[in-house]
Amino acid sequence: MKESNTILVILSFSIIVACKQSGTHTVAHASGKGDSLQNETADSVNIKADAASVLSRKQIPVLCYHQLREWRVKDSKVSKDYIVPPAKFADQIKLLSDSGYHTILPDQLLSYLNAGKPLPSKPIMLTFDDTDLSHFQVAAEEMKKYGFKGVFFIMTVAIGRPGYMSIEQIKNLSDQGHIIGCHTWDHHNVKKYTLSDWPLQVEKPLKQLQAITGRPVRYFAYPFGLWNEEAINPLQLRGFAGAFQLTEKRSATEPLYTIRRMIVPGYWELKNFQKGIKQNF
């Protein structure tokens, strides 16, 4: 069993390495006052609406990025779905700003979904998976130019490894007003979890990230975007207020734990980027 678990860890990490080849809300958001924003929305976040009410609200665009780097000769077409060249990312962020979009954070999204609390005009959420170093070096720097904030889902097995963010960089992002979320320990598929997987894959990373940031970690992103109904209650029991998948249909009973996101492929030009946002949300 120990040998089998070791193989699973190696396989999971190998997959990630392969991928590597309004009003007041808006003011708080733009100024980076993350603590003020979270306190302001705390009450409405904790109000949980019935599933039908949540599902009836218009979905807000949530974008998902992985790596932000130049393509390499060895990168496959599939890999390029997960690799956005920095210049393209910069153009996308500028386009969002020029088009009047305002980034929102998960607490704002849940306040809207649960209680109908107003959002800034043209709200959008930017999320980043897997702890890649480019999230700190490229994404955070580009977003800073426009007062944008994002959500960084951390896979803790990678912290401090070459090409990934350090403890200090993750803390820095949190201190700047970005949100740090949990993306498991080693990206193991949640649909395959047994009871013994939850302490290692979720509880330990959750505690580690809370210790790094000094703040509660309230949001979770499913590895590969894959989820099942059986995973929702364990997430709720561990204090998560919401969870993010990719493009599957949302749960009919727990939509806050199956919030949809769209991966931004690296080969998209700006017209595809704009069209993708409109067609998917």
Read off the tokens for 52.
């039908």
Q: Judging by DSSP bridges, how do beta strands 123-129 and 102-103 pair with one another?
A: parallel
Q: Give which of 185, 218, 177 is closest to 202, Cα–Cα.
A: 185
Range of the domain at 257: 2-280
Answer whether 162's CB lies under 8 Å from 134's CB.
Answer: no
Q: For residue 7, what pLDDT is reported?
A: 39
Please calculate the CA angle 88-93-94 and round it to the nearest 5 degrees: 95
Rounded Cα gap, residues 257 and 251, in angstroms: 8
Residue of 207, 166, 216, 218 whose CA lies nearest to 185: 207
91 exposure class (CB count in 10 Å sphere: 0-12, 13-18, 19+) = middle
Cβ burial of 262 (10 Å; 0-12, 13-18, 19+) is middle
**CATH number of the domain bearing residue 65:** 3.20.20.370
Provide block-wise average pLDDT over 10 residues at a time, the chain (281 residues). 41 44 34 40 67 98 98 93 97 98 98 98 98 98 98 98 98 98 98 97 98 98 98 98 97 98 97 96 94
Task: Please name which of 125, 130, 85, 88 lies closest in space to residue 107, comparing C-alpha atoms.
Answer: 125
The tally of domains found in the chain comes to: 1
The residue written with tokens 């959420």 in the block is 125
> Given this model, what pLDDT does residue 45 score?
56
To which H or E segment does residue 52 belong? helix 51-56
What distance in Å separates the CA atoms of residue 41 and residue 25, rounded to the nearest whole number?
9
Give the pLDDT score at 78: 92
Name which of 161, 165, 76 is nearest 128 in CA terms.
165
Backbone angles phi, psi at 57, to 5 degrees: -80, 145
pLDDT of residue 29: 36
Kind and range of the H or E run holding 53: helix 51-56
